[in-house]
Amino acid sequence: MNADSSGTEKALVSTPLGFIELTAINGELTGLYFRDHTGDESIPASLAYAANQLKQYFRGELKTFDLPLNPRGSEFQRSVWKLLGEIPYGSTTTYGEIAAKLNIRNGARAVGLANGSNPVSIVIPCHRVIGQNGKLTGYAGGLWRKEWLLKMEVSNTMEGLFSQ
């Protein structure tokens, strides 16, 4: 995929969960979106590093991304996304726990909305946030993908414990 008129570069990466479209402006990742269509997996040089890290993640070889990010969002959304980035690989937290860290009383719903508008899923791990009751709740890529990602991370974490 090529750059569009706004200067946004795009790449389509094949993963175990289907194709993922990466978008970047000036070398900074601005989006990661699940796509149900197939296409040419051509990756411009500017997105090769991000595509490689994504593939390593899906192989269980990468637990923390090291990418320049520039997700577009409000100050509140960015504060939520920053906390999402602190959730350890293979772990989960709740919307309410994030709201409490932000000192927002009864803010679980607002956190949920910010979580749902995260444009760089997986890299900013919004899939690691679950409902207060321990159930999986909304995920833009579909709950089946959220469940798959969590199971993969837990599996890779457990393998690491037993291989030491």
DSSP E strand boundaries for the chain: 9-15, 18-25, 28-35, 93-94, 129-130
Question: How does 81-95 read in b/e, with b if 16+ C-beta sit within 10 Å?
Answer: bebbbebeebebbbb
126 among known catalytic residues: yes
Q: Which CATH architecture has domain 75-162?
A: Orthogonal Bundle (1.10)
Phi then psi dihedrals of residue 81, to 5 deg: -60, -35
pLDDT for res 17: 95
Query: Catalytic residue among 83, 84, 98, 126, which?
Result: 126
Low-confidence ranges of the chain (pLDDT < 50): 161, 164
pLDDT at residue 126, as a whole number? 96
CATH 1.10.10.10 in the chain, residues? 75-162
CA of 155: how far to CAs of 52, 64, 65, 90, 152, in Å?
Answer: 21, 16, 18, 8, 5
